[in-house]
Structure 1
Amino acid sequence: MYWPVYVSNQNMRPSTLDSYNSALRKWIQPFFADMHLEEITPRTVTDFMAKKLIPANLASKARRNIYNLLSEVFEVGVDNQLMVENPVRPRVHRPAVIQEEKPTLPIEKFWTLICELPTRRDKALVWTIALTGCRVGEALGLRQ
């Protein structure tokens, strides 16, 4: 009851809300649904991380996002006096995010691509993406 009210007051983007709801449904609720709030301790959160998230072989960023959401949910419980303290302990539970190197296009292939593009507009789009690092969708949304 408290979480939907909290979320509705946060002015979240629909995609963020969808992501939160998905993580709640898929990861958090199945593990914690049958527990009373007073039963949830830091050890319970450790078990959640060890038994649910780590074996799922999720990307480190996905694990961190679920961890952040879990902490936020419990913080709402504390704010509404449903819990005395948040059982999530950053020093113990916070997963590291491993920065993965993104593949890049070698310069020779970039020039081949530019030369093969049929229009100046296509070339401008590729140059914009290459020089700014923006995503394709962001570049397509740009106006003249």
Structure 2
Amino acid sequence: MAEWAEIWWQTVDVGANTEAFYRSLLTRHILPRWGTTPVDQITPADIQIWLNRLRTTYAPSTITSLRKLFAMLMGDAVDNDLLTTNPVRPRRRGRGRLEPRRERLWADEHQVLAIAHRILRLSSRNQCLLVITAAYTGMRWGELAGLHRENLDLTQGLIHITADAGALHEVNGHLTLGHPKTHSSVRTITLPPFLTELLTADLAASTRPFVFTTIRGKHLRRSGFQRRLWAPAVSGGRHLNETWTPVRQGLTFHGLRHSHKTWLIEDGVPEVAQARRLGHTMENKIDDVYSHVTSSIDSRLLAGLETRWRRSIERHRQDREGRELLSIAS
């Protein structure tokens, strides 16, 4: 198996992050167990017993990823005449396991503003704006961290995510600019008016080449942002002489992308427009059929986002005034 994996690896053509993930699964799980086993002696029962044992230690998502990667390895072994059938098969018999479905956490516009406001206090206006932009565009972390100011057209209210350098990749501690996650991720995102104004003002105060950076103008790293800013802003705790309550316990930065999609669903935005904006591929659907209504749909989409922003600002203002009144009364 180890010999076949070495050959198979030379045929892999995926993004840097996916490549690092595959390599981790291979070196940590698949090869230690199967590396010395002849490929044609690996049976479906052996694989299922192995996966069942791993279930006691690892999350369901890890087991699913291992099964999929192993299936790719053995499927290609079949194509290369090393096997007649693929021994990695989906479970179709037995009672199976009823795993509780984990809710995809998302935040409403008021929670997003609360998180952004806390990050403003912890760091800078720029990184506060990063959170707002993520929630109101649905962009991925890498797309935001790698966004160059030349890829913004703020006169038209557009963000262009390009094929050659549309995302910042962090693999084994090294940062590089490259292709975004999928071909569908190469897209143009329209901005609601308030976000265009905020980005214009922020970029006017700086000459940094990238839109979102550290205070020193360096590339953002996901782990550092998570530890120093995101976790305390979302989960709460002590900050100076205040105690912050949790805003949305368990929410991840990627949860802002789920939030954006949820908002679009709530606002009745058609699925094809959601897919285009988020960079998703719609299987078995021809979205060109809807091209004649794109402009009107997009206008409605942006109007909904603008309304959410204004609503969150008004709620924040009222809450702040209420706190000030309580402070005066006490």
Shorter-chain-normalised TM-score: which range? 0.7 to 0.9
Contact kept in structure 1, 2:116 and 2:132, CA below 8 Å: no
Contact kept in structure 2, 1:60 and 1:98, CA below 8 Å: no
Task: State the partner residue of 1:55.
Answer: 56
After superposition, the Cα gap between the structure-2 partners of 1:82 and 1:124, relative to the gap in structure 1 and judged at 3 Å, is same
User: Which of structures 1 and 2 has the bigger CA Rg?
Assistant: 2
Question: What residue ranges of structure 1 are gaps of 5+ in the alignment?
Answer: none
Moved more, 100-109 or 125-134: 100-109
SS at match of 2:91: helix
Moved more, 12-21 or 87-96: 87-96
Identity %: 25
- Residues 16-95 of structure 1 mapped to structure 2, 5 A cutoff: 16-51=18-53, 53-56=54-57, 58-92=58-92
Contact kept in structure 1, 2:8 and 2:73, CA below 8 Å: no
Contact kept in structure 2, 1:37 and 1:82, CA below 8 Å: yes
TM-score (norm: length of structure 1): 0.74
After superposition, the Cα gap between the structure-2 partners of 1:67 and 1:39, relative to the gap in structure 1 and judged at 3 Å, is same
Moved more, 80-89 or 4-13: 4-13
SS at match of 1:91: coil
RMSD: 3.3
Which protein has the bigger strand share? 2
Contact kept in structure 2, 1:75 and 1:86, CA below 8 Å: yes
* Superposition deviation, residue 117 in structure 1: 3.0
Contact kept in structure 2, 1:129 and 1:139, CA below 8 Å: yes
Deviations 1:50-95 (A, max 9, x none): 12x2122x23222211110011111122112111211111134999
* Superposition deviation, residue 141 in structure 1: 2.2
After superposition, the Cα gap between the structure-2 partners of 1:116 and 1:89, relative to the gap in structure 1 and judged at 3 Å, is closer
Take 1:135 and 1:40, find their aligned partners in 2: how far apart are those partners? 39
* Superposition deviation, residue 44 in structure 1: 0.7
TM-score (norm: length of structure 2): 0.37
The one-letter code of the counterpart of 2:29 is W
Task: State the partner residue of 1:107.
Answer: 110
The one-letter code of the counterpart of 2:38 is H
